[in-house]
A and B are shown apart, each in its own frame.
Chain A
């Protein structure tokens, strides 16, 4: 079975400060990990993914995420937050082995960047 947890419902950060949105996962095999962003009344937009290789993954809009196998985490980060980054962020995991083709999504974390 695969699962993902986003322990924070909401993250508040001041514009210009670094931000972190947390994600932990559980899979039987090796994980494929994804981050998506959702703006109000819109679909999800892909930000970045970890498949294999370097633990630090760089994605769209200046976001990056660090894969930590020992802590089973894949936290999303950005060095300097923008007000326009305010949105709902979803982490997703898919087991690289087994029969499932479907990622499991977390409940989402609302990021609020204050001016």
Chain B
């Protein structure tokens, strides 16, 4: 079992550019959540996808958008990058059936905006 995988590992962009981050969930998981983790902070929830729909969204602007594919993998897109978007972006997968299910996290994508 490969667990949750994310790509790329690191990314450097300049202000105003757009970026796409990718995530493949753990085998058997159907729900994918994205988090932003700034240095020295806990993960901040961006949004969650289930059955290819955005099920819940955190307090992030519309510049942050996502998608879930039929195979449950997911993408996070960020448009018009700002310096403040520099962070570790974490993908987490889980099974939707029970809210008590823990999330399994990928290693993250380190985004640096210059």
Interface residues of A (CB under 8 A from B): 32, 34, 36, 41-46, 49, 51, 90, 94, 96, 100-108
Contact = CB atoms under 8 A, between A and B. Distances in A.
A101 B56 contact: yes
A112 to B, nearest CB: 15
B108 A32 contact: no
Contacts of B103: 44, 46, 103
Contacts of B45: 102, 104
Interface of B: 4, 6, 31, 33, 40-45, 48, 50, 55-56, 58, 90, 92, 96, 99-100, 102-108, 110
Contacts, number: 59
A34 B107 contact: no
Given A90-B42, A105-B42, A43 B108 contact: yes
B48 A43 contact: no
6 contacts: A42-B108, A44-B103, A46-B103, A51-B100, A101-B55, A105-B43
A88 B44 CA distance: 16
Given A43-B90, A46-B104, 10 more contacts: A43-B105, A49-B102, A51-B100, A90-B42, A96-B99, A101-B55, A101-B96, A105-B43, A107-B42, A108-B41
